[in-house]
Structure 1
Amino acid sequence: MSETGAINRFRPFLALRLALREMRGGLKGFYIFLACIALGTAAIAGVNSLSQSISATIASQGQELLAGDIRFELNNRVATAEEQAFLDSLGSVSASSGLRSMARLPDGSNQALVELKAVDGAYPLYGTLESEPARPLAELLSKQGEVFGAIAAPLLLERLGISLGDEILIGNARVRISATIVREPDALSDGFGFAPRLMVSADALSASGLVQTGSLVEHGYKVKLADPQRVASVRAEAEKRFPSAGWSIRTSGNATPSLNANITRFSQFLTLVGLTALIVGGVGVANAVRAYLDGKRSVIATFKCLGAPASLVAMVYLAQILMIALIGIGIGLVFGALIPFIAAQFLADVLPVPTSFQLYPSALGLAALFGLLTALAFAILPLGRARRVPPTALFRQQGFEPTGFPAWPYLAGALACLAALAGLAVWTAYDRSISLIFLGAIAFAFILLRGVSWLISWLARRSPRVNSPALRLAIGNIHRPGALTPSVVLSLGLGLALLVTLALIDGNLRRELTGDMAERAPNFFFVDIQGSEIEGFRSLLAQAMPEGKVVEVPMLRGRIVAFNGEDVNSRNVPPGGQWVLRGDRGITYAKNRPENSTLTEGTWWPEDYQGEPLVSFSAEEARELGLKLGDAVTVNVLGRNITAKIANFRNVEWESLSINFVMVFSPNTFAGAPHAWLATVIDPDATAKEEAAVLKSVTNTYPTITSVRVKDALDIVNTLLAQLATAIRAAAAVALIASVLVLAGALAAGNRARIHDAVVLKTLGATRGTLIRAFSYEYIILGFATAVFALFAGGVSAWFVVSRVMTLPSDFLPDVAVATIVIALVMTVGIGLAGTWRILGQKAAPVLREL
């Protein structure tokens, strides 16, 4: 073997040995690199670990969360004798019924909406119902005289101003609060409720008279199988034997599908925010590597003077960069692994989370891969420029400034890492279309930010001469070779734009919920109005709220089971349309087109139409489901499959909170079908006192009608949004912290040139005060320009999300603009002056000797 071949063979080992020797001096110069990688890695690792921990806990506790091995749910009807016999043959069965109703005091002085749940003696088949006082459930719900026992959520007692032992009315039944609910095992599988829980016996529900023809009630049958491994076969057998039952079947392996989907969506969103922080940190990685290698010029020149080829030099510092990246990734993984354990202390009361520390290797591995690809993608280009340092740099530090692009292998390597990073983000996403939009927006933002920095430099170069020496120096610093302008604009631009986007989305949602939407929304929804009550109900509202506009429609419940004869479970439906197929939907029929909708395609049927069943479908949801005019929709209503042809599509104003339906059928479709009525009343000028009087009057006169005050529901949604906003702001803060680190790295990368400028200017007579003013002016100009970009980019992004995705009105909020500008100026001026203060005291002689 030749001597050259031997050298090439052992070059990697030589590079590693040299890299380790040079790192004996510590990690000086790499602290910002470490922080950027650790921060982004921790965010991604923590979010995905938390998501996996919740999903794993749900899966492990599926039987308890469902209170059974398998659950059959029927809407608006109980199981037939044949269906009941089949369920009984499977094992132990617990039947329950759930509906919304009004709980009121016996004297009629107060009332409150409740989530009523009636259970039998077998409940719960799995898990334990915890109450205070702790007594057997059968005893707590037992009947004494004419009064039934009940247990309630503490919030209900608070709203009605009652205590344990007090009596309330539910429909026509009198119940006594015998205990409060501490923990309900299957609460999560029952779904989100807008009202506090009230649990009674099946006999109490029967006595209340709440379950009538057309009442919106869910009947659940939970089965404890003799062999839980038979879940899949039991489900298949049920679907085969009762194809038209219309029941929704859920197994313990998927006890909370809505919660799982929401957790997945939210974790994807936070992962993308964490990826933004990592990409922003990538700019900091590039700056840190450039600054570090800039300080190693003499070492690189020495290597070359001793005969080391450029490839060996690149391998030495690539080895160092990889080792530092792995250290940063390790730090990030440690913190990310701790996040689920820390979050569990705050989420234990609302979500199923593990109480012991656990590791989630796949989540940590994914975060590590993201971190490594980011480090390589942003470190390769500075490395490629550093290998071009000539041996003469050993003798003249200021004599070489690398310009242009590095060699093509380095460009190809950086592009390959970026492509792998993008591919990984799309491949691991729940909704890949959102990931593609996000990646496109990030790429466009990078290009736009480069354009913004070029524009700022161009304007500074062509600005008129000013009299102030400090301001003139600041303007010159903005456009001179090696200026900080690109680094500062890029580092702050993404972080601030993300902050503005999230702040505007949050602000618009809150304003809509508390302002415009609340003003346009009905005052009340009234549910379960029986046909025999509708005339009296109209008269009552005419007296109680004479200026109110009453809208009433027939209301049924149905579940979509097929499109064009194809089972909906076999269709690949995008996430945006899955909610339409999840469970039962409210449906109605109408002779005329609803007032709050407009036709986009097709025609409405005649008032006296008597042909085949027709249906009008919401246009947006139809697009998500891939439907077209003439398609057949099969809906199961009251255990009967009904097929209708799509006659038209219509735009629905969901944000108005008025009566809206995904599907409106022609009247002949449900001729003779039993149903109840749904009504709203709108009076924008009604006071809280008048609304309370209406609520009291309707509840006392018609105890089986459920009244929902819309403002109360909006308050609950607003509270939930506030809780979500806390997590979103925390994620945005991670991106902003990454921006701060990147800004500090950009300043560190330019320190050598700043020292040279400061020494030369001081030698020529400039005072420290002049230099401070010059630097301050420069940072103010750059901070203001970056804030303007962030306001524009964030405003456009928020407008797209709010108006196009959420279909809500979107406005620009001045307070967000002011806060953004203040944050940008504080960050640029504060961090900038802190980073350059040491430069102002630099001794002149050592620097001048290197010129």
Structure 2
Amino acid sequence: MSTEQLSATAGAGHAPSARRSGRGPLALRFALRELRGGLRGFAVFLACLALGVAAIAGVGAFSRALTDGLAREGATLLGGDAAFSLVQREASPEEYALIASGGRVAAIATTRAMARTGSGETLDATLAEVKAVDSAYPMVGALELDPPQSVPNALARDGEGEGKAFGAVVDPALAERLGLKTGDHFRLGDVDLVLRGTIVREPDALSTGIGFGPRLMVSIDALRASNLLQPGSLVRWQYRAQLADPAGLAAYVERVQHGAPEAGFETRTREAAAPRLENNVRRFTEYLTLVGLTALLVGGVGVANAVKSHLDAKRGVIASFKSLGAPGLTVFSIYLVEVGLIALVGIGIGVAVGSALPFIANAAFGHLLPVPIAPSLQPGALALAIAYGALIALAFALWPLGLAHDVPVSALFRERVETARRRPRRLYVAATALAVAALAGLAVAASQEPRIAIYYLVAAAAVLVTLRLVAVGIMALARRLPRPRSTALRLALANIHRPAALTPTVVLSLGLGLTLLVTLALIDRSLTRELSSRLPTEAPSYFFLDIQSAETDHFASWLRHQAPEGEVEVVPMLRGRIISMAGRPVEEITPPPEFSWVLSSDRGVTYSPDIPEGSTVVAGDWWPADYAGPPQVSFEQEIADAFGLKIGDKVTVNVLGRSITATIANLRQVEWERLAINFVMVFSPNTFAGAPHTSLATLTLPNGGDPAFERAIGRAVAAQFPAVTSVRVKEALVQIGEIVGNLLTAIRGASLVTLLASVLVLAGALAAGQHHRVYDAVVLKTLGATRARLVAAYALEYAALGLVTAVVAVGAGAAAAYVVVVYVMKLGFAWSTATAVGAAAVALALTVGFGLIGTWRALGQKPARILRDL
């Protein structure tokens, strides 16, 4: 009997008197006594719990700090206490007076237009996001300029009469594109502008939105002088109110809405100044929390491995307890308390790190965030992380702890005797199931979108079960394969399927992390191909906006003359806001999360006698070309299905201050990926008869067009039609690609937490399995095996496991990416051989590397000590 066993036995012998002396519960006393020797063997246990808990706590705390910042700075971000927006028209005097009844009002107009310099061959033009402000701007916050100056001075006009330019300030990117410096002149539409400075910080940038071009800020007088304000022009007017009585915000908003029911205002308040950003923060937080939970689930495998390895090493001690009369439940309680105390240490480390993450992130990247944040301890986020960590530890520890209940007394005489029981008693199986159910319930209850949490739990369970079945299949296959003549191959094959083989742990821990990375890599590859290769050859080369209806025909014929080989398409375009669907006001409709954008703002609408290109009618009938009856509308099928709309339902849309109700005549499938002109809603031709509007045109050049020719067309349009906005599709796709790429980079970086957890679990499992390697190595060396032959056998085993795991991960990851790309994103799937090869290389490097590190130590053990216990 070992010294450790004698010590534990002596302690057990004094247990009754100790209990009577009131020194605490028996399980706690023995757990603390064992922990005096340190936490050796629990490094992976601690690391996995700390990593997952830190991720969940940090994400939750940072998200809360950001949303608190949005709420706290709501008035600054919005530019007032409330904002009322209109598209394509200004507020009437009565509407303006109604808005101004609560306090001060500032008017803001935003549009897209071409800023240009030079003329003729030297003309240079670029798309700009124009923001025109009045003298009250900014009512809240401060516009920081370089050089510092007041807003009225920066935007003032140099006197009166011809040749007097209006002042302008721009985003530094715009100045760089046009080669401008302070004091230089440039043009917007028909007005001459002089650059007075660049924008350092725009306090309300989020409320006016971020577009494809850099910011150009002028006065409203300058915008009027530019002649860009024409009937039907795509200009958004926003009227911001700073209330004399901020506490009466709700009553004020209700008064304005009821006072102008037909206005079609899009209303926002300081309490929800940036709803889209808040929604994006919530969704990204949801995703990152699930990533942290995935890391914890992978770490749970490490918890189970660590507990099993620890109990294997304590078999003699447990047998000593049993020989002195300790019941199995007492043994279970002792080690449950011990594991619980260790888990508390890991959870505590994770909470400490997670609490510090928002402070670290704010110090490092706070200046890049759109809103100032004030990091603080978030009890709710920390409590959630603690609960997740505790439930994961419990769910994965109960099964191996339950096996300790039935360790036989015979283990005192042969420490390595294998117990016949492979499954714990029903009590422990039930307790494990209860812990898993509690974990699933917490994930659903804590999620802001329970449906996503349920999908995640089902997918996680399916992946875990699938990987387990794959491991069982690998072992069964290895067992049935013919025995090769090579000793190293035969030994490697036997190690894959023998009792206590590492196969299940390697496949599960490494497979999950690799599957996630392969999925993200293939999604990235598919998006990159869509944005960089296929779309530009199919999509238009240019979109032209704000073509006045009076000059539409002239513009189209001029454009066809400039590009005779190109295809020109022109359609009328208006903006409208959906007021009701099927008789239900939009305020009473809860849209599916992925379609909330349909109701969140105004939408582009058009009318047409013919079915638009790229659309296919799938239900109902298209109206006749000479239709003159009540308004009808064609609705995009997927969106109609999402809102439960059908043929015959009525949809009310506010356009130019008028509410128009139309009957759904048909449903269309739209090929959005072609980037042809298409709309969610297409109305019958008579619906907007006489309404002022502009036209939208596209130019599609053969084979995607020559870049030099495309730029020449852009310059010619800017010179001939200064009020027309040109959007070069390839440049827009590059910007979209950068946004998507940055998002995918952030997601991949966050997902590395899961891969790191997988690596930790793999390393821990291989280390824990080395005691089997020690005995194998000693016996085989005693029988004459050389070190080189043993290393070769183990390397072949690890390589086979890594390669099979990589194949499984690539297959599962490709399937997941295919579903996301084809069925969620509605794009074409792109396979990447480099991703598959990279996954295989990572798997082989990790399994062979970690495996041989531990194996080399096993080969160095002295035979005498090991042979005594056999």
Q: Is the CA contact 1:347–1:353 (under 8 Å) kept in the aligned structure 2? A: no
1:734 is aligned to: 753
What amino acid maps onto 2:25 in structure 1?
A: F
Counterpart pick for 2:561 among 523, 527, 543: 543
Q: Do the aligned residues in 1 keep the contact of 2:185 with 2:194 (CA within 8 Å)?
A: yes
Aligned partner of 1:98 in structure 2 is 110
Kept in 2, the 8 Å contact 1:102–1:706? The answer is yes
The answer (yes or no) to whether the contact 2:19–2:25 under 8 Å persists in 1 is no
Counterpart in the other structure of 2:710? 691
Matched with 1:39 is 51
> How far does residue 811 in structure 1 lie from its aligned partner after superposition?
2.0
Structure 1 match to 2:130? 116
Moved more, 740-749 or 221-230: 740-749
Alignment of 1:361-760 (within 5 A): 361-401=379-419, 403-683=421-701, 684-760=703-779
- Secondary structure in structure 1 of the residue aligned to 2:448: coil
Residue 101 of structure 2 aligns to a residue in which SS? helix
Structure 1 position 129, deviation (Å): 0.4
Query: Residue 814 in 1 paired to residue 833 in 2?
Result: yes
1:550-575 deviation digits (Å, cap 9, x = unpaired):
11111000001111232112112210
Identity %: 52
Q: How far apart are the structure 2 equivalents of 1:79 and 1:277? A: 53
Partner amino acid for 2:757?
A
Q: Is the contact between residue 73 and residue 371 of structure 2 (CA under 8 Å) also seen in structure 1? A: no
CA distance in 2, matches of 1:590, 1:346: 53
Q: 1:432 to 1:597 in 2, by over 3 A?
A: farther
Distance 2:865 2:444 in 1: 52
Secondary structure of 1:399's partner? coil
Contact 1:630–1:647 (CA under 8 A) maintained in structure 2: yes
- The answer to whether structure 1 residue 318 and structure 2 residue 336 are counterparts is yes
Residue 302 (structure 1) aligns with: 320
Of residues 143-152 and 540-549 in structure 1, the stretch that sits farther from structure 2 once superposed is 540-549
Is 1:278 matched with 2:290? no
- Where does residue 6 of structure 2 map in the other structure? none
1:761 maps to: 780
What is the TM-score when the length of structure 1 is the normalising length?
A: 0.97
Q: Distance in 2 between matches of 1:292 and 1:627?
A: 60
Q: For 1:600, what is the secondary structure of its paired residue?
A: strand
Task: Indicate conservation of the 8 Å contact 2:408/2:419, yes or no.
Answer: no
Secondary structure of 1:192's counterpart equals coil
Shift of 1:693: 0.7
Q: Secondary structure at the match of 2:596?
A: helix
Contact 1:385–1:406 (Cα < 8 Å) also in 2: yes
User: 8 Å contact 1:491–1:739 — kept in the other structure?
Assistant: yes
* SS of aligned partner of 2:386: helix
1:779 aligns with 798
Q: Partner amino acid for 1:137?
A: V
Q: 2:151 aligns with which of 117, 122, 137?
A: 137
SS class of match (2:501) = coil
| Pairwise CA distance, 1:685 | 4.3
Aligned residue for 1:81? Answer: 93
- 8 Å Cα contact 1:501/1:795 also seen in 2: yes
Query: Aligned residue pairs: how many?
Result: 849
Matched residue type, 1:705:
V
CA contact (8 A) 1:96 1:221 kept: yes
1:174 CA drift (Å): 0.5
SS in 2 for 1:348: helix
Per-residue displacement from partner, 1:152-194 (whole Å, max 9, x unpaired)?
Answer: 0000011011211111110110000101000000001111211
The one-letter code of the counterpart of 1:577 is F
**2:235 pairs with one of 206, 214, 217:** 217
1:584-617 deviations in Å (ceiling 9; x for gaps): 0000111111120112222211112222211111
Alignment of 1:227-306 (within 5 A): 227-306=245-324
**What 5-or-longer segments of structure 1 have no aligned partner?**
none
C-alpha distance in structure 1 between counterparts of 2:620 and 2:53, whole Å: 51
Paired letter, 1:23: L
**Structure-2 separation of matches of 1:508 and 1:44:** 29
Q: Hey, what's the Cα distance between the residues in 2 that align with 1:461 and 1:9? A: 56
Corresponding residue for 1:841? Answer: 860
Q: Is the 8 A contact 1:11 1:312 kept in 2?
A: no
Partner Cα distance (1:260, 1:180) in 2: 28
Q: Residues 789 and 107 (structure 1 numbering): CA distance in 2 closer, same or farther, change over 3 Å? A: same
Structure 1 residues 435-460: Cα deviation after superposition (integer angstroms, max 9, x where no partner): 22222111111111111111111111
Q: CA RMSD in A?
A: 1.8
Q: Report deviation, 1:831.
A: 0.9
| Aligned residues of 1:780 and 1:828 also touching (Cα < 8 A) | yes
Aligned CA distance change for structure 1 residues 421 and 580 (closer, same or farther; 3 Å): same
Q: Secondary structure of the residue that 2:36 maps to in structure 1? A: helix
The alpha carbon displacement at 1:403 in A equals: 3.5
Instruction: Compute the displacement of 1:340 (Å).
Output: 1.9
Equivalent in the alignment of 1:72:
84
Picking from 762, 784, 798, the partner of 2:817 is 798
Alignment counterpart, residue 830 of structure 1, candidates 846, 849, 852: 849
Between the aligned partners of 1:539 and 1:302, the Cα distance in structure 2 is 97
2:214 aligns with 196
In the TM superposition, residue 277 of structure 1 has moved relative to its aligned partner by 1.2
1:254-287 Cα distance to aligned partner (Å, 9 max, x none): 0001111111111211221221111111111111
1:805 deviates by: 0.2
Q: Is the 8 A contact 1:57 1:354 kept in 2?
A: yes
Deviations 1:80-129 (A, max 9, x none): 11111111211010001000000011425100000000001100110000
Contact 1:70 1:252 in 2 (8 A): yes
Matches within 5 A, 1:49-60: 49-60=61-72
Contact 1:530/1:677 (CA < 8 Å) preserved in 2?
yes
Contact 1:53–1:353, Cα closer than 8 Å, also in 2:
no
CA distance in 2, matches of 1:754, 1:266: 44
Deviations 1:401-429 (A, max 9, x none): 35432111211121122122222222222
What is the rounded CA distance, in whole Å, between the counterparts of 1:100 and 1:613 in structure 2?
31
For residues 699 and 420 of structure 2, the distance between their equivalents in structure 1, rounded to whole angstroms, comes to 73
CA gap 1:754/1:463 in 2 versus in 1, 3 angstroms: same
Alpha-carbon distance in 1 for matches of 2:639, 2:113: 30
Shift of 1:624: 1.9
- For the residue of structure 2 that corresponds to 1:641, the secondary structure is strand
Cα distance change of structure 1 residues 653 and 350 upon mapping to structure 2, 3 Å threshold: farther
Shift of 1:346: 4.9
State the AA in 2 paired with 1:73.
Answer: S
Deviates more, 1:132-141 or 1:433-442: 433-442
Distance 1:47 1:17 in 2: 37
Q: In 2, Cα distance between the equivalents of 1:9 and 1:462?
A: 60
Which residue identity lines up with residue 255 of structure 2 in the other structure? E
- 1:663 and 1:306 map into 2 onto residues whose CA distance is 81
Map of 1:29 onto structure 2: 41
Select between 685-694 and 181-190 the one with higher mean Cα deviation. Answer: 685-694
Does residue 126 in structure 1 map to residue 144 in structure 2?
no
